[in-house]
Structure 1
Amino acid sequence: MSERKVLNKYYPPDFDPSKIPRRRGPKNSQQVVRLMAPFSMRCNTCGDYIYKGKKFNARKETVEGEDYYGIKIFSTLCSSEITFKTDPKNTDYSAEHGASRNFEPWRDEKAEEEDRLARLEEEENNPMKALENRQIDSKREMDILDALQDIRDRNSRNERVGQNKAAELVGKLGLQELEDEETRQRRLEEEEDERLVREVFSKVPSTPTAEQPGNVDDESSSNPLQAVTIKRKAAVLDAELDESLPRSSAPAPKPILKRKKEVANSLGIKVVKKKVAV
């Protein structure tokens, strides 16, 4: 068995390259290649859909009368021959025989060209229609220019801000949001305190003042809201203070004082007191 990677060839001593005839390839030669479908197509024989990227064992041959290649493949369902060729004009492939493309991009270009020609013909016959079309075109151009100017202004503003300015701006926004949150929390606490105060004072009974028969209408008209003064006794306040104190708190016990022992008694010495004569 010969080597797979041969570096040297053996030439016999009597080798003469001039005696080897020059070979020519056949005119209608075909080359079997493995390729993928360049576009999605539908078989005209069986109606099977062949999607883009489907792999085939195809025969590649030179197209007669043209300067590019045509490729033959076979349908995967009915094995009928499908031929497509390259399309240098549209830089794509075109189905030649046995199948039809599902979508051809150049059809839209042809439709746009036909619409443009029809519009020009209509404008030549109808001046008012031409004026309307010009107004529509000018309005579209103005909208495009306005949008472009807005984009330019935004880009220039972003460039002026810079990274440091952007960081400062973000920091200021964060501080502002924090201050707004603290202010809102403080306002809610104040509203809660006011509500509690109103509830407490609404439970206190008001003492009606003595009304004078002659000045009832005058007082009610001049002082619609009268201030109520409540006087409370000191005993009541002391009782309330006692109730407010915790009941578990009791007076501290007095410390026990130990009696000092006399040193003489502990040593067994008796002290005799002398009588003093008066």
Structure 2
Amino acid sequence: MGERKVLNKYYPPDFDPAKIPRRRQPKNQQIKVRMMLPMSIRCNTCGTYIYKGTKFNSRKEDVIGDTYLGIQIFRFYFKCTRCSAEIAFKTDPQNSDYVVESGASRNFEPWREEEEAVEKEKKKSAAEEMGDAMKSLENRAVDSKRDMDILAALEEMRLMKSRHATVSVDMMLETLRRSAYDKEQKIAEEFDKADEELIKSIAFPGSQNYVQRIQDDEDEDLDEDFGQSSSNPCKLPDDNLKFKFNVV
């Protein structure tokens, strides 16, 4: 074990590196690598979900005869974490992604669908522009309008940011205090108005609509006075009777 940790190796005097045979590796040799799953998949054999970021030991090989703009495409083999079924996927440099080849199916990813829809729309518009000059002009007009809307929105955001930058903390506090004071004043005015309406609805003595109610003891006094007047018809009722009715 000590020989593994030395800094220098022993080379005999008759050592000739030219005599060492050159090692030739097979063209499609598989290399063992440890990597993480770049996407979430579902095993077709047992139905187990294997999520993105799962670490596993895999075998990597070159895809013979399959390149994209001179970029070599690689294929990876690994086993399911539950049933040990072999799953294979390869790189997709055209879309900067990976493609599942066998043993599993990729889970649905909504953002990939949106990206694919946008890409299809671009290809469709490009195909239409190649054969129709008017369609190309319409597409350019739509793009120009979209760019103008984006620039207008950016300019509005810039102006809003500049306005906010000029506002200090003291100004904000003063504005809050002023709004609170205005709210209190409005509530006080509403209360004053309600009080005035209540006062107007009440009839006070001396007003035209005022009628004083007669109490029970006053009713008895009036009955006695009327009884005396009925026994003596020549006698007029008391002068205070007018005031007891308080007719205004």
State TM-score, norm by structure 2. Answer: 0.56
CA, structure 1 residues 198+116, in 2 after alignment: closer, same or farther (shift >3 Å)? farther
Change (3 A) 1:171 1:201: same
| Unpaired segments ≥5 residues, structure 1 | 1-8, 206-232, 241-278
- Alignment counterpart, residue 72 of structure 1, candidates 78, 93, 104: 78
In structure 1, what is the equivalent of residue 202 of structure 2?
196
- The change in CA–CA distance for 1:126 and 1:102 in structure 2 (over 3 A counts) is same
Aligned 1:54-69 pairs, distance under 5 A: 58-64=56-62
Distance, in Å, in 1 between the alignment partners of 2:102 and 2:81 is 12
How far apart are residue 142 of structure 1 and its match?
3.0
Consecutive unaligned residues in structure 2, runs of 5 or more = 12-22, 64-71, 213-239
1:180–1:129 Cα change, 3 Å: same
SS in 2 for 1:70: strand
CA distance in 2, matches of 1:131, 1:89: 29
State whether residues 73 and 90 of structure 2, in contact with CA within 8 Å, keep that contact through their aligned partners in structure 1.
Answer: no
1:97 aligned to which of 102, 105, 108: 102
The structure with more strand, counted as a fraction of residues: 2
Against the structure 1 CA distance between its residues 79 and 54, is the aligned structure 2 distance closer, same or farther, given a 3 Å change threshold?
farther
Paired residues of 2:88 and 2:100 also in contact (CA < 8 A): yes
Partner of 2:39, secondary structure, is coil
Q: State the secondary structure of the residue aligned to 2:202.
A: helix
Name the counterpart of 1:83. Answer: 88
Instruction: Flag the structure with more relative contact order, 1 or 2, with Cα contacts below 8 A and sequence separation at least 6.
Output: 2
Q: Which has the larger radius of gyration?
A: 1
Query: What is the Cα-based RMSD across aligned positions, in Å?
Result: 4.3
CA distance in 2, matches of 1:159, 1:62: 56
Normalising to structure 1: TM-score of the pair? 0.51
How far the C-alpha of 1:152 sits from its partner, in A, is 2.0
Is the Cα contact below 8 Å between 1:74 and 1:82 reproduced in 2?
Answer: yes
Aligned length in residues: 190
Could you tell me how far apart the structure 1 residues matched to 2:97 and 2:193 are?
Answer: 71
1:122 partnered with 2:128:
yes
Query: Residue deviations 1:6-34, cap 9 Å, x none?
Result: xxx878xxxx9649xxxx9x98687596x
- Counterpart of 1:166 in structure 2: which amino acid? M
**Offset, 1:113:** 3.8
Structure 1 counterpart of 2:209, which letter?
A: S
